Every structure is written in structure tokens, then in C-alpha cells.
Amino acid sequence: MGEKPLKTGSGEVVVLSVGEISRRIDDFVREYLSDKSPATVGTYRRSLNELLRWISIRRRPLAFTVEGVEEYKRYLSESKGLHDVSISTYLTALRRFCQYLVDIGMLEVNPARAVKGNRRPSTHSRQVLTTDEVDALKRTIKPSTQIAKRDLAIVYLMLHSGLSEIEIVRSDVGDLEQTLMGWFLRVQGKGRTVKDQQVPVDIEVVTRIQDYLSTRRVHPEAPLFVSHGHRSDGERLNTRSIRTRINEHLSRAGVKRSGISPHSLTHTAALIWLKNGMDLEEVQSRMRHGTLETTMISFKKQGLLGPAD
């Protein structure tokens, strides 16, 4: 059975059989993923194969609607029992596949675009914060003092830009740049000798940084974050100081637990991006991983991907 329009109250909904979707997936992989790595192609292929299995199990074609995608998401969560990262991965693959169907004229709109990943993990993961814990941490740091404004800016950089402690320590004021494509921070990661990577910085993060910098007299070569202690005032902040401050805030927010450390904020960034619908390749790029496989291995180490995923 091929393409079969189904009349609904709002117009026509495209309904495709397993065979038709399988053929379109082959076309999608061949035409849209030709420049991707084998690991990336394999991830998309496995994710979309799960879609085919689900359609076969339920024994009726898939209606390409928001409701249809939400039904598939419930299947992944409730019947398959997948972790949040896996669900977000499968939805990302479906979102890209639906966009392909839009581009070739089979769909008018992408129904998967309106369906995001789960709001937060249903259970505590070993190395990431839940949405409620992220909110609690932010509320705990009230930007009423210079130090609090600094700490809040650091937390935002870790949670929403995925920066590590060493990247934050090495950053200078002049590394933060605005371009036609938005704001970026030039960073020097662990094991690197130069600042050869650009990290996108969302406007909410830029606002927090600027709020902190407004309390200092700065020049481009000055450290982005400095100590404000009596003996070390104005000196570049070090990783030990960052860890101490973040751990204090995690404890005060009531979210400090086994497996949660300051570095957990960096891991949490990837989960936030996936839940917001960011493509896997973009998450890989923002995490500055060499391959998508590295990104997925990282998720498994964090306990976000189970053995059945």
C-alpha cells in the first residue's frame, strides 16, 4: 500500500504504510546523509528502524500528524522504557526524516517539529541534573552581589554552552565576540595549546556575563572571571575555586547527591539541547566531540542510555 490521504476535520493527513516509509527512509539516508559519518548514519538508521517496528506492532499505518508523533513518543517511553536521551535521539531522527518528506513535497508541514523530548529524567541519572534541579540551582544564586553575578554567569555558561571548568578559567574578556551569526566564545579546551574553537553563546548567557562584567573595569586581555577575595582580588579564577563555589551552590539548592559534581553541569547542557529539539550533529559540535559515537558513549557513561537502548 502506498501513500493514502486520510480525510480529517482539518483537511487531508498523509498516511504511509510500512513499505512506503521503508523506501522513503532509504531515500532519506541516500540523499540527506551522504556526507555524514558511518556512526551518524547508523544512529539515524537504528532510530528510524524502531519507527518501522512500532508501525508493524500496531498493525496500522502512521498518520503524519502531531498526535501521531506524540503517540510514537509515548510508545518509546512507556512500552520500550527508553531513557530520555534515547527518546530525544529517536525524535530527532524522525524530525529530520519528516523534514525530508516536506522538502520532497509529501508533507506540507513537519509534525515532529512540535514534539520535544521529555521534560526531565523520570529517575535521577548519575551525572546530570533534572529540569527541576537546574531551576533550583539558578534560583539559589541571587545576583545581588558581584560574586553572585559571577557565579551565576559561570553556571549559565556550563549549563547552556557546555563549557568545562578549564575552558572557563582560560577565557578572557576579548574572547567573547558578537558576529552576524550571533555570540561566540573562543575557547582553549583540555590538551589544546591555542584557542581554536568557537562556542555559541545564547543571549541569556551573554546577558549574565555582561551583568557581571558591568561590576568590573575590564579590557580585552583581562580574565573573563576573576577572584574577588581580599588577598586574590582581580586574579584569574582557578578550577579549584570554581569547583568549590559550584559545589556550595549545589548543596544550598538541595541537589547535591552521589554522582553530581560541577562537571555535571557541562553534561546537563547536552541533555537540555536534545530536549529542546537540537539535531544530534549540532549537539556533537557544541560538545566539541570528534565523532557522534563519542557523544553517544558519553551519554552511556552518564547512565542516560540503558542496555536496551
pLDDT (tens digit per residue) in 126-176: 578 888 999 999 999 999 999 999 999 999 999 999 999 999 999 999 999
pLDDT (tens digit per residue) in 42-71: 888 988 999 999 988 887 777 888 998 999
pLDDT for residue 110 is more than 50: yes
The residue with cell 550571533 is 182
Domain ranges of the chain: 4-114, 131-276
Cell triple for residue 144?
545581588
Q: Is 71 exposed, middle or buried (0-12, 13-18, 19+ CB in 10 A)?
A: middle
> What pLDDT shows up at residue 249?
97
Highest mean pLDDT (candidates 18-27, 213-222, 225-234): 213-222
> What pLDDT shows up at residue 299?
56
Three-state SS sequence of 13-38: EEEECHHHHHHHHHHHHHHHCCCCCH
pLDDT for residue 92 is more than 90: no
Q: Output the average pLDDT for the chain.
A: 83
Q: Is 293 exposed, middle or buried (0-12, 13-18, 19+ CB in 10 A)?
A: middle
What architecture does CATH give domain 4-114?
Answer: Orthogonal Bundle (1.10)
Q: Binning pLDDT at 50, 70 and 90, where does residue 306 land?
A: very low
- Fold of domain 131-276: hpI Integrase; Chain A (1.10.443)
**Which among 306, 304, 309, 305 is positioned nearest to 125, based on CA atoms?**
304
Measured in degrees and rounded to the nearest 5, phi and psi for residue 232 equal -120, 20
Q: Binning pLDDT at 50, 70 and 90, where does residue 98 land?
A: very high
